[in-house]
A and B are shown apart, each in its own frame.
Chain A
Amino acid sequence: MVGEIKGGQMAYASEKPGEPLPTDTPVQCTVCGLKFTQGARAVCPHCPLQHAGCCFVKCPNCGFDIPQKSRILEWLRKLVAVKK
Chain B
Amino acid sequence: MSFAHCAKVMVVGNPNVGKSLIFGHLTDQYVTVSNYPGTTVTLTRGRMKLTDDASILVIDTPGVNNFLPTSEDEAVTRDIVMDMAPEAVVVQVIDTKNLQRGLFLTLQLCEMGWRGVVALNMWDEAQQAGYTVDVARLSTVFGVQFVPTTAIRKEGIEALKNAECRFLHYHLVYPPAIESAVAKLTGLLPASTITARALALMVLAVGTGPLACFATLSPHERQQMDAIRGETREALQADILTVINETRAREAEKISHSVLQRTAQRKARPLWEKSESLSTHPVWGFAMLIAILYALYLFVGVLGAGTLVGWCEKGLFNNIVNPSAIRASDWLLPFPHRHVVEEGSIVPEYTFTATLTAGEGVCRFLHDFLVGQYGAITMALTYGLAIILPVVLTFFLAFGILEDLGYLSRLSILLNRLFRVMGLNGKAVLPMVLGLGCDTMATVTARILETRKERMIVTFLLALAVPCSAQLAVIMVLLAASGLGFKGIIIWLTIIALTMLIAGAAASRLIPGDDNPLILEVPPFRIPELRNIVMKTLARVEWYIWEVIPVFLIGTAALFLLDEIGMIHKLEKLLHPLVVYWLGLPEQAAQTILMGFFRRDYSAAGFIHLAKDGMLSQAQILVGMTTITLFVPCIANALVMIKEQGIKVAIAMIAIILTIAFGMGGLLYRLLEWIPWLVK
Contact = CB atoms under 8 A, between A and B. Distances in A.
Interface of A: 1-10, 26, 30-37, 39-40, 42-43, 46-49, 51-56, 58, 60-65, 67-73
Given A72-B538, A73-B535, A63 B448 contact: yes
Contact of A36 (B21, B31, B438, B535): B21
Interface stretch (B309-317, B365-373, B542-550, B600-608): B542-550
A54 B445 contact: no
B357 interface: no
Contact of B640 (A10, A26, A39, A48): A48
Contacts of B31: 4-5
Contacts of A73: 534-535, 538
B297 to A, nearest CB: 23
12 contacts: A2-B33, A4-B32, A8-B24, A8-B25, A31-B434, A32-B430, A46-B644, A48-B639, A58-B444, A63-B442, A65-B441, A67-B536
Contacts of B430: 31-32, 62-64
A47 B441 contact: yes
A46 B152 CA distance: 27
Interface string B391-415: 0000000000001101011001000
Given A1-B35, A5-B46, A32-B520, A61 B539 contact: no
Contact of A49 (B448, B536, B547): B547
Smallest CB-CB A-B distances: 7 pairs: A8-B24, A53-B546, A63-B445, A67-B539, A70-B538, A33-B521, A70-B539
Given A30-B408, A34-B16, A67-B539, A2 B636 contact: no
A67 B540 contact: yes
Given A5-B31, A61-B15, A31 B546 contact: no
Contact of A4 (B33, B437, B539): B33
B538 A31 contact: no
B409 A33 contact: yes
Contacts of B42: 1, 42
Contacts of A72: 538, 542
Contacts of B35: 1
Interface residues of B, number: 61
Given A63-B442, A65-B437, A35 B18 contact: yes
A8 B28 CA distance: 7
Interface in B10-42: 15-16, 18, 20-21, 23-25, 27-35, 42
A36 B416 CA distance: 25
A15 to B, nearest CB: 14
B24 A55 contact: no
B522 interface: yes
Given A33-B523, A37-B21, A42-B42, A2 B32 contact: yes
Contact of B520 (A3, A36, A62): A62
A51 B546 contact: yes
Contact of B33 (A10, A35, A62): A10
Contacts of A31: 403, 408-409, 412, 430, 433-434, 520
B302 to A, nearest CB: 26
B547 A51 contact: yes
A7 B263 CA distance: 36
B636 A48 contact: yes
A43 B448 CA distance: 10
Interface string B466-494: 00000000000000000000000000000
Contact of B441 (A9, A51, A53, A56): A56
A43 B447 CA distance: 9
B523 to A, nearest CB: 5
Contacts of B96: none
B23 A8 contact: yes
Nearest to B639: A48
Contacts of A64: 408, 430, 434, 445
Contacts of A60: 20
Contacts of B406: 30
Given A5-B33, A30-B403, 10 more contacts: A5-B44, A6-B29, A7-B28, A32-B430, A32-B521, A35-B18, A49-B438, A58-B444, A58-B445, A64-B445
A42 B40 CA distance: 13
A68 B539 contact: yes
B539 A69 contact: yes
A37 to B, nearest CB: 7
B612 interface: no
B643 interface: yes
A65 B521 contact: no
Given A49-B547, A70-B535, A5 B438 contact: no
B533 to A, nearest CB: 11
B620 interface: no
Contacts of B441: 47, 49, 56, 58, 65
A3 B33 CA distance: 5
Contacts of A1: 33-35, 42
A10 B46 CA distance: 12
Interface in B78-100: none
Interface string B629-653: 0000000100110011000000000
Interface in B411-454: 412, 430-431, 433-434, 437-438, 440-442, 444-445, 447-448
Nearest to A44: B444
B654 to A, nearest CB: 16
Nearest to A70: B538
A3 B34 CA distance: 8
B543 A62 contact: no
A9 to B, nearest CB: 7
Given A53-B547, A70-B538, A48 B440 contact: yes
A20 B32 CA distance: 19
A63 to B, nearest CB: 3
A71 B543 CA distance: 10
Contacts of A32: 16, 409, 430, 520-521
A72 to B, nearest CB: 5
B146 to A, nearest CB: 21
A13 to B, nearest CB: 12
A43 B445 contact: yes
Contacts of B442: 63
Contacts of B33: 1-5, 10, 42
A46 B409 contact: no
A52 B546 CA distance: 8
A14 B506 CA distance: 38
Nearest to A37: B21
B571 to A, nearest CB: 27
Contacts of A55: 539, 542-543
A64 B448 CA distance: 11
B128 to A, nearest CB: 13
Nearest to A10: B33
